[in-house]
Amino acid sequence: MKRVYVYRNKAQENGKVVAVENSIEALKLEISKQFAGCSENLRLYSSNGCEIDDVRVIRDEDKLYLSTDDEAAARSCDSTVNSAGESSIGDTVKEGTPVSDWITLNVGGKHFTTSRATLLAKEPLSMLARMFANDNNVYLMTPSATDSAGAYLIDRSPEYFEPILNYLRHGDVILDKNVNPKGVMEEAVFYGIDSMIPQLKLLIEESRSSCGINQALTRMDVVRSIIKTQPTWELRFQGVNLSGADLNRLDLRYINFKYACLSRCNLTGANLSHCCLERADLSHANLEGAQLLGVKALCANMEGANLKGCNMEDPVGSRAVMEGVNLKGANLEGSNMAGVNLRVATLKNANLQNCDLRAAVLAGADLECCDLSGSDLHEANLRGANLKDAAFELMLTPLHMSQTIR
């Protein structure tokens, strides 16, 4: 339960501590019991001279002043106005008018007008509250200098200050779409508005997650695009981020994935025939059992990828072009790679066991420490290839390598 200090006048003599009741009538009845001689026309006033007619506006340990008739009330209000006028900041009070206690701030050249209560109520320990709190006519922090209009100067960003002032007014963090929550966060820390910081952190995380630049597309995004695209149209995912997407067993034929990021994608059993994978990033992707007929993967990055059991031989005769591709440490065991173009490709430490490499072009390829055991290299072109420490056990056809090792 809240308690208040009640005095007969601003001199604050012979005051009483009174518990705040549920209604203003009950509170007045209790005060009339505490103060002898109070009539039924009892009126209560706050420290700034405003009459109180609702207990909800009373805060714990507020100082209240009472009057018993209209004339005394007018005198009490006038004297309170004069007293408050002496200690108010930037206010010009005319005789006979109630004190509103307004404060004008000049933040970075922009004026903001607000009440003292707004600055004090929600964050009483903030810098703004300590600048304008009035404790027995002594400010807890000396206010800054004023401009020619009497507004208090604060050298900070007005764009980021406005959301902070609105938060102190209604308690919600509301930002315009062009206002960066990181900037508001810095200002909230500067002013000491601690209760605002958790909400700003959530907005920053939401902003990061909704940013389309780094957000990878999902399987559903790809499926929707395929459904909406007519068979005669070219579907392009050029430069798109699909890292980590689950695209297994999808029909992705003839799609343009040039420069796309497919790192760590699940493409098991997918049909990538005649796709353009030029300079695409498929590092550590899983393409086990995928169809790669006539695929164009010039200079693609497939380091550490799993291409076990893939099929690259097109019965029609079109060849898979993987010239300059990076297959370092990749697993191509059991893949059908007949006629594939792997000129100057990097296959260092790759697993090519039991692969069908008939008529494959491996000229200038780096096959160092590559395992080609059990592979069929009939009519394969290995001229200028680096076969240092490569394994050729259980070859299906004789291989003459006198000109191949450099």
The CA distance from 17 to 1, in Å, is 13
Rounded CA gap, 276 and 338, in Å? Answer: 19
* Residue 402 confidence (pLDDT): 39
> Left (φ > 0), alpha (ψ -120 to 50) or beta: where does 81 sit?
alpha
Claim: this prediction has a pTM higher than 0.85: no
305 Cβ contact list (under 8 Å, min separation 6): 282, 283, 284, 285, 286, 287, 327, 330, 331
- Residue 370 CA to residue 392 CA, distance in Å, equals 9
Mention every residue, 6+ apart, whose C-beta is less than 8 A from residue 313: 293, 336, 337, 338, 339, 356
Q: For residue 218, which phi and psi values (nearest 5 degrees)?
A: -105, 175
Q: Which DSSP string corresponds to 108-129?
A: TTEEEEEEHHHHHHS-TTSHHH
pLDDT computed for residue 76 by the predictor: 41
Strands ordered across the beta sheet of 110-115: 110-115, 102-107, 152-154
DSSP 295-313: -B-TT-B-TT-B-TT-B--
Question: What contacts 114, CB < 8 A, 6 or more positions away?
Answer: 102, 103, 105, 165, 168, 169
Assess contact for 112 and 100: CB atoms under 8 A. no
At 86 the pLDDT is 40
Render pLDDT for 249-305 as a digit per residue (tens, 0 to 9): 999 999 999 999 999 999 999 999 999 999 999 999 999 999 999 999 999 999 999
| Length, in residues, of the chain | 406
- What pLDDT shows up at residue 91? 39
Q: Which CATH architecture has domain 218-406?
A: 3 Solenoid (2.160)
pLDDT at 44: 77
Spatial distance between the Cα atoms of 265 and 247, rounded to a whole number of angstroms: 7
Nearest to 144 by CA among 157, 155, 135, 160: 155
Helix, strand, or coil (residue 7): strand
For 402, counting Cβ atoms within 10 Å of its Cβ (0-12 exposed, 13-18 middle, 19+ buried), the class is exposed
pLDDT of residue 216: 78
Q: Can you tell me the distance from the alpha carbon of 332 to that of 309, in angstroms, rounded to the nearest whole number?
A: 7
Strands (E) across 57-211 are located at 63-67, 102-107, 110-115, 134-135, 138-139, 152-154
Assign 177 to helix, strand or coil: coil
**In the chain, which residues have pLDDT < 50?**
70-100, 136-139, 212, 400-406
Non-local (6+) Cβ contacts of 394 within 8 A are 373, 374
CATH for 102-209 is: 3.30.710.10
Would you state the pLDDT for residue 95?
A: 38
Q: Which strand (E) or helix (H) includes residue 6?
A: strand 3-7
- The pLDDT score that the predictor gives to residue 54 is 74
Parse the chain into domains and list their residue ranges.
3-87, 102-209, 218-406
CATH of domain 3-87: 3.10.20.90
Q: Distances in Å between the alpha carbon of 183 and those of 161, 162, 177, 187?
A: 9, 12, 13, 7
How confident is the model over 26-49, as pLDDT tens digits? 777 777 777 766 655 677 777 666
Cα dihedral across residues 197, 201, 203, 207: positive or negative: positive
